[in-house]
Structure 1
Amino acid sequence: MNHIEEKIIQTIDEHREEIIALAKDIQSHPEPGFYEERTAAHVAAFLRGLGLRVHGGLARTGVRAEWMEQDGPNVTIIGELDAIGCKSHPMADPVNGTAHACGHHAQIAAMIGAALALTNEEVQASLSGSVSFFAVPAEEYIDADKRAWLRKEGIGFPASGKSELIRLGEFDHSDIILTTHVHMMQVEEDFYLGNAACNGFSAERVTVRGKAAHAAIDPWDGVNALSITSSAIQMMGLMRETFREEDHVRLHNVIRKAGDVINVVPDEAVIETKVRAASLDAIRATQEKMDRAYDGAAYAFGGTIEREPLQGYMPILHRGADKVMEESVKLLDASYRCSKPADFNNACTDVGDLTHLFPVLNFTFGGFAGKLHGADFKIMDEELAYIKPAKLLALTTYRLLCDQAKEAKKICREFKPVFNKETYCQYIRDNFHENE
């Protein structure tokens, strides 16, 4: 461990109680995606106090703080602002129904801790490049009705915060992205280094049109929209044997509406659907099967189908543990294991969109008990959940940008993006009819 690495660890240790207090404050005031006003203001004030140039109101609530004076690659460290809808959680907000049952408050704490270390004058002087600290909104799923309101408020890609920030050009100066999260897979070690491949998804709001009739006197004159919906969902269940294991397909349906009164044949049903799969092609193919199920059921009963495609998240592209991260974690008193190509996470995150445009260096960490998104989620080890992730973010950033940023430049040179900003935005417009 050299002097700068010692300085990074020492600085974070000196601010340990401050970092934990900030994490607990955010945990106590959960807010939903794109409406994290209090959390964003708190983060902005903290970063401004470190002498950073702070930009707020990005995609409504995003906060980016940075220094840009130094030549060289930019490393962007991300923390997520939003909480998850979980009314049964003991720390859920009684009004908005959200709780930090996914550990995003721990991400923010880790990002803040890294900022404390990396803004130290001696540490900053050792870096050949720039660092951004980016608190981003809305990682959790945004439903169709909320998306409609967000569009009216000027959000062009309301599926997620990162997607909208890509559209707005807020990542244009980024070269490497650093992300972190509490463990999303079964991991016994303190840290899991690298990005496991992860499902992406697309969604759709389906409106089934039938025909109303008296449910007792002349139901034969009606077309039952709920029966069409039930038949389509049953067909999807029968299709499951056609899904390849390697595509990791998951289907979800929520019936938002199915008629108005019980003694009238339902003439309208509204369903929100979600298709998860491991690749963009598998998502598209599975969505087509679901669409055929709705079309076939509607044909059989004499109804019609209307669809509104809803943008989802792209799958995470696997990335093994980078040397700079593995070398950094060895400086901490912690166990770890590295991502393997065979590892897979069936959940989804909008970090997947970023992996199609940037090299994303990721790690996950422990320190909690219970289930993600569950009422029993609870931080159990503040050192592992808040402090050590801050150290790993800061140490990894230092190793990327020290020695004339040799490692960062190598990563950027070797990375082959799937999209640039323009082709990414065009893909979203072409497939989900999103309008700016």
Structure 2
Amino acid sequence: MLPYSAWFRPILHISGGISMTDRQQLIVNNVDTVKQLILDAERWIWAHPQTGYTEWQAHDYLAEKYEALGYTLVKAGNIPGFYTDVETGKPGPKVAIFGELDALDIANHPESVNGMTHCCGHNAQSAALLGIAAALKQPHALDGLCGSIRLVVVPAEEMIQLAFREELRQKGIIKYNGGKTEFMYRGLLDGVDMAMMVHGMTKGSSVNEDGDTDLDFQALLGMNGCIAKNIRYKGKSAHAGGAPHMGVNAEYAAMLGLQACNDLRETFQEKDTIRFHPILMGANCAVNIIPDEMKIESYVRGKSLEAIKRENIKVNRALTGAALSMGAGVELSDRPGYAPEYHDPTFMKLAEDCCVALCGRKKVVFDYNGWSTGSSDFGDVTCVMPGVQINAGGAVGTLHGIDFQITDPNRMCVNAAKVQLFLVDALLSNNAVTAKEIIANYKPQYPSIKAYLDAIDVLTLDKDAVRYDEKGNAIVDFQN
């Protein structure tokens, strides 16, 4: 593969020790021309947060902006989100760029709206993607490129509100919890050959060799996948003071179940990076009533689908055993979550070169062995095509925390737009020789989107895991 700098005229633009080609300088100028559009969008979406599959305000705002730029949109229909294709007029690969719409439930954030906040920075992604769309309308933006660029505005990356998403699934509105997975199922990523996105990060997320923790860009090799779990313990209500012996306490059964799962943690092997982090959804009764129901939402995360499936069986066994010990019942509902996310190293290296060209060597850290124990539905995408997800600085506090704030949208949004356009340019210039090489050498885990979806569908589980006969003997069934 040719080095990126070899595709253009010699480097002419040097500022602050950072060197760019003529072509990169054109991209910088094009993005700077639409900078205010990006910054306005970041603030507007921040002020209008909505959680997954309900993000209609941001959807409508962005759809209006894209259409004003002259784009024709292919909308998802009964869920938020859309895509538009930017055609170069020459045959070649199709590169997708994602921007996520959804916020989080975090009512204690000082800027929460209706209990929701963009404290994972997805508003910045959508703003940057809008800037990319606008910059691609500027003069000479597509000069020398082939193939096409699919700009994808996608809902529901955060795997939250599992009961609500199950309701949507039961109604036939969605099949999958994750927005990208649902887009794959709906055919909205058909024809895409490779994908990229930029997520926000906070100061302190990584460190360079000089000890600087306020970086511009960072990336790791990948991150965990997960199974999503709805757990419902079933007891029997009774007077908590006068006749507790007449009841079966579902809350106690749930507490025992979580303790049993906690006692499994030493059996999880470090190489599998397993995570289990349940949340009790609360008892729906008065304090003087034995709770007859306790719901739990959780994931089982891990570095491979094989490890996730193996450890999830142990978790389900522990949850079931706790119900049996209390004479309670438990319903287990498992759904496909996200696949582990693997970034193609060659694609990563190209992305790193683009980040360094924009911001300089010391403000960029790419760890080719680094692994995150978080999860993203971008992992589903990387199961069938080469992809890379970069993290952009410009925020402080804690991701998913009440102290999260975007303090420098120029870095998180404007620079994100520039570096993704650098990367698109590197991929699709010179007859897309680099993109074609990455695609040809990539070994996807699944040969097609359909093959991938078929594989994760077997993770679906619905079990009434403990059933009693008239004598109180139990039949236990907690796995497919």
> With structure 2 as the length reference, what TM-score do the two structures score?
0.84
Question: Is the 1:202–1:313 Cα contact (8 Å) retained in structure 2?
Answer: yes
CA distance in 2, matches of 1:258, 1:42: 38
CA distance in 2, matches of 1:78, 1:169: 15
SS in 1 for 2:53: coil
The correspondence for 1:71, drawn from 68, 71, 91, is 91
- Residue 249 of structure 1: aligned partner: 274
- Residue 131 of structure 2: aligned partner: 113
SS in 1 for 2:142: helix
CA distance in 2, matches of 1:293, 1:433: 16
- Residue 410 of structure 1: aligned partner: 437
Correspondence 1:396 to 2:458:
no
Computed over aligned residues only, the root mean square deviation of the Cα atoms, in angstroms, reads 2.2
Instruction: Name the amino acid aligned to 1:186.
Output: S
- Residue 7 of structure 1: aligned partner: 26
CA distance in 2, matches of 1:213, 1:88: 34
The correspondence for 2:184, drawn from 162, 166, 177, is 166
CA distance in 1, matches of 2:190, 2:232: 38
The Cα of 1:194 is off from its aligned counterpart by 4.1
Classify 1:265/1:75 alpha carbon distance in 2 versus 1 (closer, same or farther; 3 Å): same
Instruction: Name the amino acid aligned to 2:32.
Output: D
The Cα of 1:100 is off from its aligned counterpart by 1.3
CA distance in 2, matches of 1:221, 1:4: 77
The Cα of 1:217 is off from its aligned counterpart by 4.6
The correspondence for 1:275, drawn from 289, 300, 303, is 300
- Residue 384 of structure 2: aligned partner: 357
Classify 1:17/1:211 alpha carbon distance in 2 versus 1 (closer, same or farther; 3 Å): closer
Instruction: Name the amino acid aligned to 1:144.
Output: L
- Residue 203 of structure 1: aligned partner: 228
Equivalence map 1:20-419=2 (5 Å)? 20-58=39-77, 60-68=79-87, 69-93=89-113, 95=114, 97-151=115-169, 154-183=172-201, 185-187=205-207, 188=213, 190-258=215-283, 260-320=285-345, 322-334=348-360, 335-419=362-446
1:11-44 Cα shifts (integer Å, max 9, x gaps):
1112222221121111121122111112112222
The Cα of 1:221 is off from its aligned counterpart by 4.2
Question: Is the 2:102–2:158 Cα contact (8 Å) retained in structure 1?
Answer: yes
Instruction: Name the amino acid aligned to 1:304.
Output: G
Question: Is the 2:220–2:368 Cα contact (8 Å) retained in structure 1?
Answer: no
Correspondence 1:428 to 2:456:
yes
CA distance in 2, matches of 1:189, 1:257: 39
CA distance in 2, matches of 1:405, 1:330: 21
- Name which of structure 1's ranges 208-217 and 382-391 shifts more when overlaid on structure 2: 208-217
Unaligned segments of structure 2, at least 5 residues = 1-19, 208-212, 463-480
Question: Is the 2:225–2:376 Cα contact (8 Å) retained in structure 1?
Answer: yes
CA distance in 1, matches of 2:175, 2:241: 46
CA distance in 2, matches of 1:340, 1:228: 43
Classify 1:242/1:406 alpha carbon distance in 2 versus 1 (closer, same or farther; 3 Å): same
SS in 2 for 1:418: coil
Q: Matched residues, percent identical?
A: 31
The Cα of 1:371 is off from its aligned counterpart by 0.7
- Name which of structure 1's ranges 391-400 and 258-267 shifts more when overlaid on structure 2: 258-267
CA distance in 2, matches of 1:191, 1:171: 29
Instruction: Name the amino acid aligned to 1:428.
Output: I
SS in 2 for 1:155: coil
Classify 1:302/1:189 alpha carbon distance in 2 versus 1 (closer, same or farther; 3 Å): same
1:272-316 Cα shifts (integer Å, max 9, x gaps):
232122221221122111111122122222222221113311121
Classify 1:204/1:42 alpha carbon distance in 2 versus 1 (closer, same or farther; 3 Å): same
Classify 1:428/1:262 alpha carbon distance in 2 versus 1 (closer, same or farther; 3 Å): same
Instruction: Name the amino acid aligned to 1:427.
Output: A
CA distance in 1, matches of 2:35, 2:259: 53
SS in 2 for 1:29: coil
Matched residues, number? 432
> With structure 1 as the length reference, what TM-score do the two structures score?
0.92
